[in-house]
A and B are shown apart, each in its own frame.
Chain A
Amino acid sequence: MGASTLSTLPALPLHEAGKYVAGAYIVLFALVMLYVAIMALRLSRVQRELQEILAQRQGGGEELSSTPAGER
């Protein structure tokens, strides 16, 4: 019923138009996913740098605590 109705319309039938509609929605989804992936990469870089800073800070703290009190 639906297919016969569609075939009478001047537009592309479902099997023809479907790939274009799917393509358009997939493009949007892919762009959003790409954006999220780039954001995730940036976030991981920020976290890595924070861990480096934390390691530096802890290293500095250990040096300070291992130094004799007279030398401080």
Chain B
Amino acid sequence: MLAFCTLAAMAVALALVFFYAPLDAEQGFLQKIFYVHVPLAIVSLCGFVAGGLLAIAYLRSGDARWDARSYVAIHTSLIFGVATLITGSIWAKGSWGHWWVWDEPTLVSFLIVFLLYATYQPLRFAIEDPERQSRYASVFAVTAGAFVPMNFIAVRLASSYVHPRVLGSTSNLPPSMALTFLVALLAVALLYATLCAYELQAKRARSQLRALRRAMELGPSMHEGAGDALGARREAGAGAAGSLASAGLTSTATISGRAG
């Protein structure tokens, strides 16, 4: 359902961008890049903050599911961050004639945030003990998540306004452009949610598969445990039918049906 909503929102957003929104008086056709670049940046930064909030939930509860959610939120935000940087560079080349400008605070601050989060995965996977890995990664996510809004405010307070503002007091978007932008933002947010859901389901499927394999390796006496794992997979598969990752879960449920 989420995937279909995402596809529909993307289709509507693309139609609005290319057939409804008027050409910008200053930027012309090049401004169409903003309908993808700005939503990607906003969703990416919100995802980093969400990763920090989910990490707080993990540190409070100790429930590994919150840690997995925090990891997936940051991982997906990093992918969106790559897309933001590339689309921004393409716009800068078309508009300013350079792929990158170092004296522009918005660009450099986003790059700093991106590079900060690029260290999240090496830090996380450098720690072998799963408990410590989750705890350290959560502390990192909380600290870095707090840095994101501070960084954003600092850039807004900076005097240079070379980088165009789409939202905020300086924004003077006509209604047709504002509507197109909001639909594009919704589409990108839905894409983010869909990718997070797939990633979470895939992670769950892999961890349950590992549990099943361990149970199988421990021998026939543990078949009961394997049955439990399969039962859990069956439950997970029932809730996730119709999605990419759930295809694996459904096949697991089928196998458990045959085997059990």
What is A's interface to B at a CB cutoff of 8 Å?
6, 9-14, 16-18, 20-21, 23-25, 27-28, 31-32, 35-36, 39-40, 42-43, 46-47, 49-50, 53-54, 56-58, 60
Contacts and interface: CB of A to CB of B under 8 A. Distances in A.
B83 A31 contact: yes
22 contacts: A10-B26, A11-B24, A11-B30, A11-B31, A12-B29, A12-B94, A20-B93, A21-B33, A23-B90, A25-B36, A28-B87, A32-B191, A43-B245, A43-B247, A50-B209, A50-B252, A50-B255, A53-B209, A53-B212, A53-B255, A57-B259, A60-B220
B248 A47 contact: yes
Contact of B90 (A13, A16, A20, A60): A20
Contacts of A49: 209, 213
Nearest to B32: A21
Interface of B: 23-33, 36-37, 40, 79, 82-83, 86-87, 90-91, 93-95, 191, 195, 198-199, 202, 205-206, 209, 212-213, 216, 220, 244-245, 247-248, 251-252, 255, 258-259
B89 to A, nearest CB: 9
Contact of A56 (B25, B30, B87, B216): B216
Contacts of B213: 49, 53
B244 A43 contact: yes
A42 B198 CA distance: 11
